[in-house]
Amino acid sequence: MTPRLSVVVPFYGVGEYLGDCLESIARQSWTDFEAILVDDGSPDDSAVVAKAFCDTDPRFRLIQQDNAGPGPARDRGIQEAQGEYLAFVDGDDLVSRYGFAALVRTLDRTGSDFAGGNARRFNNSFGVRPSWLHKQPFARVRHATHVTEFPDLVLDRMLWNKVYRRSFWTEYGYTFPPIRYEDYPVALKAHLDAVTVDTITQAVYYWRERESGESITQQKFQLGNIRDRVTSAGMVIDLVEDSVPVVRRRVHAHLAQIDVLTLMSAFGTVPADQEQNLVDLSRELLDRLDEEVLAKTHRYDRIQHAALRSGDVDLLRRLAVFRNSGGLRGGARAVSRPRRSRQLDYNYPGRGESVVPDSLYRLREQDLTLATSVRAVAWVDGGLSVKGTAEIRHLATKRSSNVEIALEVGDLSYPLPVRRYETLDLHGETTLVGFEVVVNRELLAKCTGAPAHFAVQMRSGRRERKGMLGGQGPGSPGWPPGAWLDETSWIQPGPGKAGWFSLRRLTDPCRLTSVEQTADELVLRGHASFDEPSLVLSRPIVGGDEEIPLELDGRDFTARLPIQHILDAANPDDPFGQRTTRVFRMRGLEQVPRVLLWTAGDTAVSRTVNGRVVTLTRSTGGYVNLHESPIRTTATYASTSDNQLVVRGTDGRDVTFSWRRYLAESDDHLDVPCRRTGSADGWSAEVDVDALIPVTAVKQSVDPLAGLADWILFATSPDGEAHAVQCEPFLCSRLPLAITHGAHALAVRPHAGTLHVEVR
């Protein structure tokens, strides 16, 4: 019987990851598929892994060929495909359990030529997080749309987050060029050729990246890769040359933002004997891009463009090193005349003959915008403390500057006392950008169910800028703790509209008040805000509700969750972490669901059974979540004293702990071992703060680990398997933990569920 879906999996040298990839395909809820595995001449044991899999699952079959590249390997797989639909998976990535089913079903309903879904980036060090490249195109469900109707689809440059109708693919005869970055020309042409396409918000694909944060398949600073990138970009430019203006401009802007930026970054590490090749390739792409589009790019980009056109490789190299080191965070003050030796010296030899116009070094008023961030949120003596930063981009923050902050509730504005302090600014310098405001209980009582925001006004010299407080960082800003204002009113901080930091007052919310464990059950007790409530357990990613029986005493309730029932129903939504997430909602007689607020203390409740763990905990917004997952070493506490950083947690068993730092563009790393102690309650990992301080800047030119540092806590089992330690949500709500050590500032923070120490 012919399968409805053909999944083509080209692979080369990914033996370490291929088994997990194929397993994620085999676990699909959509079972009517064939998987065509194309070995593109792998030099490792990838083919052995593939053969073993094919021997155990007849839906998988293997084709082998001499190495020709990922594009020709895909073409070979397509030739063998028999299904009504086509999908593509790279051999080091993962697919979500319900992704293919969601895409096929939307195509069955709409008749569109293809459908695409969201993607996630993942690795062991940083966990799972959204792919920013896919965030805009797949922010909403759109049926029967088109790139000319929704131009953000030009950002959808990958093949693997989609299902294509095979008749559509055959009609247009798509083939892949024999280069890297072969996806974009084909993906964009399909968008242009299609009558209609569908987009869904569900994450259907998990895209692996290096442990250091870069894609495994993306070696940005190798000349061969760059040559292929320029070739691919040229093909894309040809495709939109006669397209509607809005699509053409959007493509040119995207190439300027992504591909040209990659070429400019390559000057930071290009060998001297390849400089001219890189100059020629970069000019080839830059010269093809619309000048009106380039004129709207960031000022720093335009300086790099001018330096490229003048052939000033020395300036290109220094600009790239500065940018690659993070010196452009929030906008580079170095774009103006340099103030400090730490910033780039733009008065380079020969600058008078350079074609970089002086106007690009002069700041305009519109460049001097207000930049704010939220660094820490905590409850102190009944009031809410909010710490953050406020500065005017590109300007030094002087002591004579002034910051005013007010809480805006509806049309009313309430000024707050502001305490200012020195901390790191956008450029990594210690200046007077830090602030703290405390909202007392009297003012909190004025909050309503609508979000209240913080208005910020800053004056520096003759300049004044206004805006709303935003930019919640990792830690308590991302997991802000809520608290009771009185017996019925709960104050919940968190993100509001446009990313603004906000406060909401929840009046008599449905809430969980306590959790008890028995031998076989989790016993939940709580209070509903209406009569005759029912409790529903839902899976937000894939849908589906299960009603939980309640024992009622008026509006108070007791619910019993059998542990084994939860384990038996486990079908992981996340193919990397193998975790299933469920949320609780309460319904009244009108069947209007309300989420269940966590007010049951500041510790998660877990039960471990046969290598799996069921955890009742809170979400980022403070609501009750139920997770089912493999056992992972989890940190629940962090503190520092006397040059010691101490982390404590659960599920440590016989692992050893170390703080790990990855080299840029690499999976190579440096480990600093921890002193481990264990008890019946869990484990403790201690390290000297000195050991986490990078070497001095004097050695930066020769030591690749010098300068700024980002350490991740790892647990290693006796067999050598290492994994990043998870950061428990209630610990996230108490972080960051700030440490001052001499001239260095350290911060213990969560990132995508793992525990990090940032050193600046």
CATH 2.60.40.10 fits 369-503, yes or no: yes
Cα separation, 310 vs 352, whole angstroms: 12
Collect contacts of 154-157 with beta carbons under 8 A, ≥24 apart: 154/188, 154/191, 154/240, 154/247, 154/250, 154/251, 154/254, 155/254, 156/116, 156/187, 156/191, 157/133, 157/183, 157/184, 157/187, 157/188
- Could you tell me which residues come within 8 angstroms of residue 316 by beta carbon, excluding any fewer than 6 positions away? 264, 267, 279, 304, 307, 308
Whether the pLDDT of residue 228 is over 90: the answer is: yes
Residue listed under structure tokens 């102190």: 380
What's this model's pTM, rounded to 2 decimal places?
0.88
Whether the CA torsion 92, 93, 97, 101 is positive or negative: it is negative
Confidence at residue 219, expressed as pLDDT on a 0 to 100 scale: 43
Question: Using an 8 Å Cβ cutoff, are 510 and 529 in contact?
Answer: yes
Could you tell me the two tokens for 569? 């129903």
Residue 698 has a CB neighbour count (10 Å cut-off) of: 9
Q: What is the mean pLDDT of residues 193-209?
A: 96
Alpha-carbon span 322 to 325, nearest angstrom: 5
Beta bridge partners, 416, equal: 405
pLDDT tens digits, one per residue of 418-432: 999 999 888 778 899
Task: State the DSSP H helix or E strand holding residue 731, giving kind and residue range, or none if neither.
Answer: helix 729-732
Going by C-alpha positions, the residue among 82, 84, 64, 86 that lies closest to residue 73 is 64
Q: Which of 639, 663, 660 is nearest to 649 (CA)?
A: 639
Q: Which residue has the tokens 């589906």?
A: 544
User: For residues 493 and 692, what is the distance between their CA atoms, to the nearest angstrom?
Assistant: 33
Residues 230-249 have a mean pLDDT of 97
* 666-685 residue pLDDT tens: 778 999 999 999 877 789 99
Q: Is 639 helix (H, G, I), strand (E, B) or coil?
A: strand
Burial of 192 (0-12, 13-18, 19+ CB in 10 A): middle
Distances in whole angstroms, Cα of residue 400 to Cα of each of 123, 404, 505:
45, 13, 36
Residue 623 has pLDDT above 90, yes or no: yes
Candidates 3.10.300.10, 3.20.20.70, 3.40.1350.10, 3.90.550.10; CATH matching 5-208: 3.90.550.10
Share of the chain above pLDDT 90, in %: 75
Residue 332's pLDDT is what? Answer: 42
pLDDT at 64 (0 to 100): 96
Tell me phi and psi for residue 242, to 5 degrees. Answer: -110, 15
Predicted local confidence at residue 407, as pLDDT: 98
Mean pLDDT of the chain: 90
CATH architecture of 634-759: Sandwich (2.60)
Judged against a pLDDT cut of 70, whether residue 287 lies above it is answered with yes
- In the chain, domain spans: 5-208, 223-328, 369-503, 511-630, 634-759
Q: Which residues pair with 199 in a beta bridge?
A: 116, 142
How many whole angstroms separate alpha carbon 469 and alpha carbon 453? 7
**Residue 227 burial (10 A CB sphere; 0-12, 13-18, 19+):** middle
pLDDT tens for 610-619 read 889 999 999 9
For the chain, what percentages of helix, strand and coil (3-state, to nearest 5) are there? 25, 40, 35
Cα gap 574→97, rounded to integer Å: 8
Check: CB of residue 207 under 8 Å from CB of residue 93. yes
Q: C-alpha angle 722/723/727, rounded to 5°?
A: 150
Residue 269 to residue 220: CA distance in whole angstroms:
10
What is the reported pLDDT for 354?
53
Q: Please count the other Cβ atoms lying within 10 Å of the Cβ belonging to residue 66.
A: 8
Q: How far is CA 80 from CA 6, 95, 102, in A?
A: 9, 21, 24
Contacts of residue 743, defined as CB under 8 A and 6 or more positions apart, other chains included, come to none
Q: What is the CATH code for 511-630?
A: 2.60.40
Residue 138: alpha-carbon gap to chain centroid: 15
Candidates 235, 218, 322, 350; CA nearest to 285 is 235
**Are the beta carbons of 29 and 571 closer than 8 angstroms?**
yes
- Same fold flag, 5-208 and 369-503: no
pLDDT band at residue 338 using 50, 70 and 90 as cut-offs? very low
Q: Yes or no: say if 25 and 9 are a contact pair by the CB < 8 Å rule.
A: yes
Q: Are 233 and 285 in contact (CB under 8 A)?
A: yes
**Residue 202 confidence (pLDDT):** 93
pLDDT digits 0-9 by tens, 446-470: 999 999 999 999 999 889 999 999 9
More confident: 693 or 356: 693
